[in-house]
């Protein structure tokens, strides 16, 4: 039985590896973590508005947008999310926008750990009814199967940012992707 299982694994590896030979190998953690980054706009001032982009562990950049009248996303916990909850969040009007090169994706993924340890600037109120543009990344906890959102930069009614150099780099990179937001 063990020999059959080993042969199966080797065959599966042989089928998968040729497709990815020129790609840098991604760590096991990134393969377990489907969702990596998000940039979104949310506003409740004149009805629920929520749209943005997210990046998955394959380098796919998807846009998503809730339509007027759709129910706001409401996860069970405010500070961490399950994969099905994030799937539901991003399923509204989802479209593939582009794909990020795996080398670039791995470089940015490696900054998440540093960003997750950053301190935040003072929160400054800059307006009302503007909503919020949020750039963030996710830290996946394999033990709980939950994703913790790490805010990198927030602009809108309130402005603040994660002061980690890694967080600043990630926020600027996400903002440079220029995907439709609103």
60-65 and 95-99 strand pairing: antiparallel
Q: Of all residues in the chain, what percent carry a pLDDT higher than 70?
A: 81
Domain that holds residue 37: 24-176
Does pLDDT of 182 surpass 80? Answer: no
Please tell me the predicted confidence (pLDDT) of residue 31: 65
Q: Judge contact between 41 and 53, C-beta under 8 A.
A: no
Q: Residue 8 pLDDT more than 90? A: no
pLDDT at 53 over 90: yes
Q: Which tops the pLDDT comparison, 80 or 2? A: 80
Mean pLDDT on 122-129: 89
Task: Give domain status of residue 31, yes or no.
Answer: yes
Interatomic CA distance for residues 73 and 62, integer angstroms:
17
130 within some domain:
yes
E strands present in the chain? 35-43, 49-56, 60-65, 81-82, 95-99, 124-125, 132-141, 146-156, 158-161
- How high is the pLDDT of residue 69? 82
**Tens-place pLDDT, residues 132-141:** 999 999 999 9
Residue 11 within any structural domain of the chain: no
> Is residue 182 situated within a structural domain?
no
Mean pLDDT of 77-82: 90
Q: Looking at the domain assignment, is residue 100 inside a domain?
A: yes
Flag whether 9 is in a domain. Answer: no
Identify whether 35 is part of a domain. Answer: yes
> 3-class DSSP state for residue 65?
strand
**Band of the pLDDT at 28, cuts 50, 70, 90?**
low
Report the alpha-carbon distance of residue 45 to residue 74 in Å, rounded.
Answer: 17
**Is 8 among the domain residues?**
no
Q: Does 72 score more than 80 pLDDT? A: yes
Average pLDDT for 97-123: 95
Count of structural domains, the chain: 1
pLDDT, position 9: 35
């Amino acid at each position: 039985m063990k020999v059959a299982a080993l042969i199966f694994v080797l065959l599966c590896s042989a089928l998968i590896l040729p497709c990815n030979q020129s790609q840098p190998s991604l760590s096991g953690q990134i393969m377990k973590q489907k969702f990596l980054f998000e940039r979104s706009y949310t506003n409740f001032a004149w009805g629920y508005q929520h749209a943005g982009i997210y990046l998955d562990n394959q380098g796919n950049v998807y846009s998503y947008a809730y339509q007027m009248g759709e129910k706001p996303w409401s996860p069970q916990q405010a500070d961490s999310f399950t994969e099905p909850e994030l799937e539901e969040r991003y399923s509204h009007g989802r479209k593939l926008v582009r794909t990020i090169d795996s080398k670039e994706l791995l470089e940015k993924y490696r900054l998440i750990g540093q960003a997750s340890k950053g301190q935040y600037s003072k929160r400054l109120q800059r307006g009302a009814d503007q909503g919020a543009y949020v750039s963030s990344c996710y830290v996946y906890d394999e033990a709980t199967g939950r994703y913790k959102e790490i805010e990198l930069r927030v602009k809108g009614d309130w402005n603040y940012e994660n002061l980690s150099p890694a967080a600043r780099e990630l926020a600027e990179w996400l903002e440079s992707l220029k995907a439709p937001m609103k």
